[in-house]
Amino acid sequence: MHNIFFHFFRCSSVSFIPIFAATKKERQIMRTVQFREAICEAMSEEMRQDPSIYLMGEEVAEYNGAYKASKGMLDEFGEKRVIDTPISELGFSGIGVGSTMTGNRPIIEFMTFNFALVGIDQIINNAAKIRQMSGGQFPCPIVFRGPTASAGQLGATHSQAFESWYANCPGLKVVVPSNPYDAKGLLKAAIRDDDPVIFMESEQMYGDKGEVPEGEYVLPIGVAEVKRVGSDVTIVSFGKIVKEAFKAADALEKEGISCEIIDLRTIRPLDVNTIFESVKKTNRLVILEESWPFGNISTEITYQVQNQIFDYLDAPIQKINTADTPAPYSPVLLEEWLPNSNDVIKAVKKVL
């Protein structure tokens, strides 16, 4: 019954998803929590239920996490399940992958996914391939989580978005939530998943507040959500940059332009059906993504839409990305480099 329900949820019409979400939230007692607290709650709740789950990474224990996303977890679960590591992403990523083969379900925290490049061999060549190379004998239930993309004046080597890199690799699931509610529900699903999941957050979202139920809930991986219903143009985005889409939609509404906003939530598997149903209604598509413009998620969405529902388009698809350069350090240049709500407004007016 559980699987039948999720199949129905995944295949339902666009209007069903936000209605379901609202109805479910209304049934539960809601409280306001920070994004970092939602992450901590998800990990802690799952660790209480399953002793095979542990958290490992730099400063996750004694320091309560670089962004305080594991606050209090060392005191509750002890040093054997909340483990501080040396600065060695390749080493502790490999330990995590290896431990899945002995029945564990590790959560590996990267202080930033920029540092995950040091351990990417373990992620791509081992975690993503173990199930296939072992003929199905070894699943790899591991979550790699931490912040992605830019976070202010952190320079070129600390401001990169790698969603499309990991989504390019079969065997990995890639999740990028934009708010505390989605973050908690999706992280619980990621921890329970028998495949490796790349769970990408943002340093600039850890302090964001949102409503989260007191009770148990899990959100299915691979299901996008219509966050705002509209009729004139579809805007697709994910992660923290979704905020710019909402700013643009608010401004455009004053001019009589109605924007529908889809939050992908999951990059791989990609919920193209929700996008298709929206574009069939609005006939116009703008994609907002905080990444370099070449070979990214918006490129794939553009291909899927023009290949599957080309006849529904009344204008060429517009995609909005960062400038095609390394991230600058100067705040003035950084503001020009990053996509913003004004870029969205211009793109919407262009397709109209």
DSSP state of 338: S
Active-site residue flag, 289:
no
Contact 282/250 with Cβ under 8 angstroms?
no
Contact 257/205 with Cβ under 8 angstroms?
no
What pLDDT does 25 receive? 53
- Whose tokens are 């390749």? That residue is 90
Question: pLDDT for 161-185, tens place per residue?
Answer: 999 999 999 999 999 999 999 999 9
Handedness of CA 18, 20, 23, 24 (dihedral sign): negative
Residues 6+ apart with CB under 8 A from 292: 161, 321, 322, 324
pLDDT, one tens digit for every residue, the chain (352 residues): 333 333 333 333 333 233 334 445 556 899 999 999 999 999 999 999 999 999 999 999 999 999 999 999 999 999 999 999 999 999 999 999 999 999 999 999 999 999 999 999 999 999 999 999 999 999 999 999 999 999 999 999 999 999 999 999 999 999 999 999 999 999 999 999 999 999 999 999 999 999 999 999 999 999 999 999 999 999 999 999 999 999 999 999 999 999 999 999 999 999 999 999 999 999 999 999 999 999 999 999 999 999 999 999 999 999 999 999 999 999 999 999 999 999 999 999 999 9
What is the number of alpha carbons within 13 Å of residue 197 lying toward its C-beta? 27
Handedness of CA 77, 78, 80, 82 (dihedral sign): positive
The first and second tokens of residue 87, run together, are 């600065």
User: For residue 177, how many other CB atoms are within 10 A of its CB?
Assistant: 29
Question: pLDDT for 123-151, tens place per residue?
Answer: 999 999 999 999 999 999 999 999 999 99
What pLDDT does 211 receive? 97
| Residue 175 burial by Cβ neighbours in a 10 Å radius (0-12, 13-18, 19+) | buried
Q: Which of 37, 89, 203, 289 is catalytic?
A: 89
What pLDDT does 28 receive? 80
Nearest to 255 by CA among 345, 319, 318: 345
Contact 146/113 with Cβ under 8 angstroms?
yes
Strands 233-237 and 285-288, bridge-based pairing: parallel
What domains can you pick out in the chain, each with its CATH number?
Answer: 29-213 (3.40.50.970), 225-351 (3.40.50.920)
What pLDDT does 20 receive? 36
Active-site residue flag, 335:
no
Q: Which of 37, 158, 201, 225 is catalytic?
A: 158
Distance CA 196, CA 190 (A): 8
Output the pTM of the full model: 0.91
